[in-house]
Amino acid sequence: MKKLLAMLLALALCFALGACSKTDDKKADDKGAASKLKIGVILVHDENTGYDLAHINGIKKAAANTGIKEDQIIWKYSISEDENCFDAATDLVEQGCSYIISDSYGHQSYMQQAAE
């Protein structure tokens, strides 16, 4: 009985001390940062292909989970794996995108060029 009472008192003390801890305002800061963020997305096709639709849905869900609104995402559809990708990436940068996502391995070298 004494052991049970000691455990309950220790548990109550843990909760009492935990309730007195400082709150973390990091989430409020993250929301403020998310509201200023713009994301560019370059897709090799559009929502009519399963591959691209999976990327679109994943990006939308990740954005919603992090407080990024849909109007903060700029979509570029049917971008071929050539200089058009470079042009799309530089256009997204000029529109203020902080991050640019591409869903095609063939876009890689053009994305690297645009990043430089």
pLDDT at 105: 95
Domain boundaries, the chain: 33-115
> What is 33-115's CATH superfamily?
Response regulator (3.40.50.2300)
pLDDT in tens, 53-71: 999 999 999 999 999 999 9
User: Which of helix, strand or coil describes residue 105?
Assistant: helix
The distance from CA 90 to its chain's CA centroid, rounded to whole angstroms, is: 20
**β-pair partners for 42:** 76, 102
pLDDT in tens, 74-91: 999 999 999 999 999 999
pLDDT at 30: 56
pLDDT at 97: 96
User: Which of helix, strand or coil describes residue 101?
Assistant: strand
Residue for token pair 């455990």:
7
pLDDT in tens, 2-56: 554 455 455 455 555 555 555 555 555 556 667 789 999 999 999 999 999 999 9
Q: Where are the alpha helices (DSSP H) in the chain?
A: 2-19, 26-36, 50-65, 83-94, 108-115
Neighbours of 97 (CB within 10 A): 19
pLDDT at 8: 46
Give pTM, 2 decimals.
Answer: 0.71
